[in-house]
């Protein structure tokens, strides 16, 4: 009996020691979360930055707040940000939308740049959404400009309405209207 108790105590101590060793160096608490107040901007690569700026200024009244031609960037920067080494960032423009959101447009030049849009279900492929007030008017404006509408407006059970359209270079943008209440 005494041997069984000693064996059980030894096993218990061994399990406690193993558990402590397994968690050594592991913080006792979850790291603190970031304190995010809003999305500042979204970035989009475009094949022709002048045409893209014109689309956003004409279509949604965006204002140019910066227009930068950075010149050659170091190879280490390209490696860190997963760029083709032969590519150069020709120009980037920050646009301010009504309400505070911003869109940053990038134009790259280089022989290895892929000008085909990824499929929307590919990893990294994305869209962004702009909030609008008048769904019918917005749909009419998009159609009048000859932009491809991907779906007619859909109304969710909560009253939110939305549809997608394509930019001339193939990026998807969603327009969203919240319910009146």
pLDDT band of 181, cuts 50, 70, 90 = confident
CB burial string 43-60: b at 16+ within 10 A, e below: ebbbeebeebbebbeebb
Distance in angstroms (rounded) separating the CA atoms of residues 141 and 133: 13
Give the tens place of pLDDT for each residue, 55-68.
Answer: 999 999 999 999 99
Instruction: Please report, for the chain, the start and end positions of each structural domain, with discontinuous segments joined by +.
Output: 38-115, 122-181
Same fold, 38-115 and 122-181: yes
Range with the lowest mean pLDDT among 15-29, 51-65, 83-97, 135-149?
A: 15-29
Q: What is the pLDDT of residue 116?
A: 85
Number of alpha carbons in the 13 Å side-chain half-sphere of residue 114 = 6
Taking the C-alpha atoms of residue 68 and residue 90, their distance in angstroms, rounded to an integer, is: 9
Amino acid 2: pLDDT: 53
**pLDDT tens digits, 112-165:** 998 888 888 888 878 999 999 999 999 999 999 999 999 999 999 999 999 999
Superfamily holding 38-115: 2,3-Dihydroxybiphenyl 1,2-Dioxygenase, domain 1 (3.10.180.10)
Between 50 and 123, the higher pLDDT residue: 50
Q: What's the chain's Rg over C-alpha atoms?
A: 26
Percent of the chain with pLDDT over 70: 85
Report whether 163 contacts 152 (CB < 8 A). yes
pTM attached to this predicted model:
0.78
Homologous superfamily (CATH) of 122-181 is 2,3-Dihydroxybiphenyl 1,2-Dioxygenase, domain 1 (3.10.180.10)
């Amino acid at each position: 009996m005494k041997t069984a108790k000693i064996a059980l105590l030894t096993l218990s101590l061994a399990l406690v020691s193993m558990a402590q060793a397994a968690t050594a160096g592991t913080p006792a608490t979850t790291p603190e979360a970031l304190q995010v107040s809003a999305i500042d901007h979204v970035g989009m690569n475009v094949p022709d930055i002048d045409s893209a700026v014109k689309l956003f200024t004409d279509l949604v009244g965006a204002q140019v707040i910066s227009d930068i031609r950075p010149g050659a960037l170091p190879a280490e920067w390209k490696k860190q940000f997963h760029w083709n080494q032969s590519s150069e960032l020709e120009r980037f423009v920050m646009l301010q939308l009504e309400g505070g959101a911003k869109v940053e447009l990038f134009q790259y030049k280089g022989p290895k740049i892929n000008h085909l849009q990824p499929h929307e279900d590919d990893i990294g492929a994305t869209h962004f959404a702009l909030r609008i007030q008048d769904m019918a008017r917005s749909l009419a404006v998009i159609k009048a400009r000859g932009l491809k509408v991907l779906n007619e407006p859909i109304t969710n059970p909560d009253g939110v309405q939305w549809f997608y359209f394509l930019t001339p270079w193939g990026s998807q943008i969603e327009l969203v209207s919240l319910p009146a209440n």
